[in-house]
Amino acid sequence: MNEIGRAFLRAFAVCTVAVAVTATGAAGARVPAAKQTTALTPVTVAVVPIEPTAQAIYAKDEGFFRRQGLDVKIVLVTQPQQAIQSVLTGDADFSSTSIGGLALLKLRGIPFRVVGAGSLHRPKAPTSALIAAPGVRITRPRDIVGKKIGLDAENQLAHIGLLTWLKRNGMSGSDVHLTYGVPFSDMLGPLLHHDFDAVVIPEPFLTEALQKGAKMIYPVLTSVCPHDCLSTAWLARKNVDRDVAARFRNAIQAASVWANKKRTKPASAVILSKYSGVKASVIGKTTRVTFATRLRPAMAQPWLDAYAEFGVIPQSYPAIDLVK
């Protein structure tokens, strides 16, 4: 396995991963910065050390949490499910997940509340895509019929994005051969050896695959989100202390503003490298994640609608319900 794959093997998990939380009475309400005192409020945040969840580590290392009166302990986990479970069992106060993961939690009646916005899917700068193996000729959507496609998991963002792209082009999942359960970090080898004709893969593996001869087919998440939409969000237990959640959200949003600036990309790459083990020089070559700077639940609506369209959830519902 190459340098990027080894470094991310334990860090990457299904979905485009998701981020920590803030519970407030109104989704986008602004709360004044907390007054700095000698007694900081202790908070534990469970984090998968990848860029879509990096707001929390940026907020810690750049001091945004302390400015909100929070003494944050970062607990690194390898799977998004571990992060969510840590919150639901009370071992952590905040964590993150994909919007798809939130839809499934809501379906199961899990008592949670979204308290902060995470990463965005931006059609103009996608960080994941459906790509073809070197030498596999796919020049139009219909060329995908009969092809073997690798996916991280069923009913996650990559899967739903692919199904949406197929449907918009007059096809369905039955027109291709889908294989689930392939970790993103393990996709490149089978793709290069033609065990798969194509895969849906995120950064940093996307950049590496293209460098090794893979060809871009389409950023399939754009089929669900033709405009910028929310891919991940921060969550907490439903009974989270609202003041603590508001301060957490303020710190996360401040970290988002900081991380989105072009001039801070080198510094954020160093911080991400510290937690993920991937060299900052490698991170710098990828398409970097853009973070939402304010929680707008409506930006998650396209995913809820898509999950309902393909029967993953019985019916869609207003995204504002995620913050209630």
Domain with residue 196: its CATH number is 3.40.190.10
Q: Mapping DSSP to helix (H, G, I), strand (E, B) and coil, where does residue 76 land?
A: strand
Q: Which pLDDT value is given to residue 15?
A: 37
Burial (CB count within 10 angstroms: exposed 0-12, middle 13-18, buried 19+), residue 319? buried
Q: Which two tokens stand for residue 204?
A: 């940093």
CA 210 to chain centre: 21
| Same domain for 48 and 195 | no
Domain boundary among 165, 198, 224: 224
CA gap 16, 151 in Å, rounded = 12
Measured CA distances, 303 to 68, 127, 140, 162 (Å) = 32, 17, 25, 13
Q: Which pLDDT value is given to residue 38?
A: 63
CA 317 to chain centre: 21
Torsion of CA 43, 116, 53, 128, to 10 degrees: 170
| Same domain for 7 and 118 | yes
| Same domain for 152 and 202 | yes
Domain boundary among 206, 224, 242: 224
Q: Spell out, as residue ranges, where the chain has pLDDT lower than 70.
A: 1-38
Q: 């369209």: which residue's tokens?
A: 309
Q: Looking at the 3D structure of the chain, how many domains does it have?
A: 2
| Same domain for 82 and 147 | no
| Same domain for 215 and 176 | yes
- Going by C-alpha positions, the residue among 54, 9, 21 that lies closest to residue 289 is 54
Q: Which pLDDT value is given to residue 42?
A: 97
Domain residue limits at 199 = 128-224
Q: Which pLDDT value is given to residue 224?
A: 97
Q: Which pLDDT value is given to residue 162?
A: 98
Q: Which two tokens stand for residue 179?
A: 């294989």
| Same domain for 181 and 267 | no
CA angle 149, 153, 154 (to 5 degrees): 90
| Same domain for 117 and 11 | yes
Residues ≥6 apart with Cβ < 8 Å to 190? 150, 182, 196, 199
pTM: predicted TM-score of the whole model, two decimal places: 0.82
| Same domain for 139 and 210 | yes
CA gap 66, 251 in Å, rounded = 8
Phi, psi at residue 144, to the nearest 5°? -80, -15
User: Could you tell me if 292 and 254 are in contact, meaning their C-beta atoms sit under 8 angstroms apart?
Assistant: no
| Same domain for 45 and 183 | no
| Same domain for 177 and 69 | no
Q: 């989270």: which residue's tokens?
A: 240
| Same domain for 116 and 232 | yes
| Same domain for 303 and 206 | no
Element housing 232 (H / E)? strand 232-237
Domain boundary among 224, 246, 267: 224
Query: Which residues face 71 on adjacent strands?
Result: 42
User: Could you tell me if 104 and 308 are in contact, meaning their C-beta atoms sit under 8 angstroms apart?
Assistant: no
